[in-house]
Each structure stands twice: as C-alpha cells, then as structure tokens.
Chain A
C-alpha cells in the first residue's frame, strides 16, 4: 500500500475527527478523498503538522489527529520531546512513514534506512508508541481514539504517489471553517 491507499483506508475512522494534515501530497490526497471542514490542510511550512496538532489538542477538549510524514518529522525532530513532555490525551500523531520525501519525488529519507522513528519517539519519552504496517493503519488509529491516551503511530508503507490536483482553497477559508468546527464541537 502507498500513502494515498493508507489515507483512503483511514477515511471511515477520521472523517468526523479534527485532522491536521501535512503539507503537499498528503493534504492534497485527503482533500480529494474526503474534504471536510474539520480538516486543516497545510499549504506550506514543512514539518509543523505535529506542532499545530499538539497546540490544538492542548487548547481544547476534542480529539485531534495530526497526519504527518517521515520526512516532515525528520525536519522538525524537536517536536517529539515537546510532545512527550506535554501529554495531551486527546492527541494522536500518525506518521505515515514511506521512507521517502514523497511530495518532492520520492527521494529516500533516513527513516527508510537505519533510523526508526518509533524508537526515536520512545527515546524522547512518548509513552504510547505503536508501529504498524499500512494494512493495520485504520485499526491502529481507531484503537488510539478508543484508548483516550496520547498515541504516536508510525505506519510503514510503500513509497509512491498518485496524481492529485493542488488545493485551491484560500488559506483563510481553510482556517476559518476549521475554527468554526472546533468551536461548535467544544460548545
């Protein structure tokens, strides 16, 4: 399975959740598969999906799923100690680890070689770290939602991309409709 297939398998589980989605193809694929006002698409700023997701989870009560990539976590490695030391039990970080920088042409990342992101997350102090194969991604996210504890999921999948259009929605529209969802769900 490649990332777009993993995302497709996740839709029944995440469609009604607050989702912060990583820059580039992941956001474009999610937008194509299941556009929701409860999705926050990153149009730029590689690496910050997990930080935005954690800030959101700490600021309000609804569950938050940040969909990140191996390349993006490597770009913002400092995020893992911050997550570990500021536990938000409504936060799930799903790292779709295809061992490559998918959006830029599948250049290999170190996560596809010697570096285990799950081991790094554990070493940083994250208490619930799950590594799974692509086929188990939906079940792993559902289990994390049911568990009511902060969970880091590293989902290993194959590298490869499908053709998807860019997101033409205005960033302020993305933020505004997302914030209205957050507000409505917390009131």
Chain B
C-alpha cells in the first residue's frame, strides 16, 4: 500500500519514465532475453536497475563494451539470448568486435544504446560522438532504430524479435527526449 501511494504521488513525467523502463524489462523477459551485460550511462540508470532486480535476467556488468559483447557471444553459444546496454560512445570501442565477432559469426545482439549528445544534452563533448553515431552504424550495415518519443518504446518487442530472427546486431538509440518524456 505504501509503495503504491508513493508511485501515485510522483509527477506525471516520472510515471512515464517508470513505464518505459518497465516496458523494456518486460519485453526483454517475454523474448527470453536472460543474459544482459551493461556499461552504465546516466540515462540508462533506471533500466539497468530494473534489469538488476529482475529474477529472470542474469545481469553481468562489464568493464568495457567489447568485453561485454564477448560475454554475450559466449552466452548465446551456451543457449541463452543475450543483450547489451551501453552508451553511444561505445560504438567507437566496439567496431572491431561488431565486425569480426558478432557479424562474422552471425550472432544476434540487441544493443540498447543511450544516444547522448542529442537535444537536451548538457555536456558538449557528448555531441562529438553523437554526430558520428548513425553514420558509423550505417557504415556497419547495422539495423538502427531511434527512440525519440516515449511512445516509440511500443516497437521494442518487435525489434527484439527481428534481431533474433535475423541473427544480427541491432541498435536501438534512445535519446534524452525519450527518457525524459519531453
């Protein structure tokens, strides 16, 4: 009872964030994604927390995103559906791993990516990787989706199904507007 009252007391915007995080975790579980590695980002804090608390998902934080992709590749070969949650700056870290491991061996890998450096970004340096993010993903022929409005999360379930069907890495870029419901 106390918990419910507390949620109801939160401002509207905050409820939206919670529902986006809940939807992402629920869709991952419903698609049997049971092994997730994360490298944190401020924007991703809520969803990482949700994954950590979810009993159906093994959460293994990694120190660098290429290491995380190695963990995911191993888990996939072990029969588990795996995913990575990371910041868009990690595209710079993982290009070789994406090309020579994930793509070369045909390993499905949903990549939930915080798209820093977009509208609403307070840190100027983040823009420097933001301007390269979509171009790099396009150069790698990685199917890429951009969540800008909170409602865009409705497509997440279908994107996960598409990723495992195609056995490809798939990028879901999630910007500040998406996370803030702005």
Contact = CB atoms under 8 A, between A and B. Distances in A.
Interface of A: 20, 40, 42-45, 47-60, 76, 78-79, 81-82, 86, 171-172, 174-175, 178-179, 182-183, 186
Contacts of A183: 79
Contacts of B161: none
Nearest to B61: A82
18 contacts: A42-B101, A44-B99, A44-B104, A45-B66, A47-B70, A48-B69, A51-B68, A52-B71, A54-B71, A54-B74, A56-B75, A76-B70, A78-B67, A79-B70, A171-B105, A171-B106, A183-B79, A186-B79
Contacts of A47: 66-67, 70
Interface string B68-96: 11111111111110100000000000001
Given A56-B77, A58-B60, A86-B60, A51 B105 contact: no
B142 to A, nearest CB: 16
A19 B73 CA distance: 14
B126 interface: no
A52 B66 contact: no
Given A51-B70, A58-B35, A179 B77 contact: yes
Top 10 A-B pairs ranked by shortest CB distance? A55-B74, A59-B78, A51-B70, A78-B63, A44-B100, A48-B70, A56-B74, A55-B71, A52-B74, A60-B78
A50 B74 CA distance: 9
Contact of B79 (A54, A59, A86): A59
Contact of B78 (A56, A81, A86): A56
Given A20-B74, A58-B58, 19 more contacts: A44-B96, A52-B70, A52-B74, A53-B74, A55-B35, A56-B77, A56-B78, A57-B74, A59-B74, A59-B80, A60-B79, A76-B67, A82-B62, A82-B67, A171-B105, A172-B105, A172-B106, A175-B106, A183-B79
Interface string B38-63: 00000000000000000000101111
A22 to B, nearest CB: 12
Interface residues of B, number: 32
Contacts of A59: 35, 74-80, 82
A47 B62 CA distance: 14
Nearest to B64: A78
Given A44-B96, A55-B74, A55-B82, A81 B107 contact: no
Contact of B73 (A55, A78, A86, A172): A55
B60 A82 contact: yes
Contacts of B66: 45, 47-48, 76
A175 B97 CA distance: 16
Contacts of A52: 70-71, 73-74, 77
A45 B96 contact: yes
Given A45-B96, A48-B70, A76-B66, A55 B101 contact: no
A45 B64 contact: no
Contacts of B80: 59-60
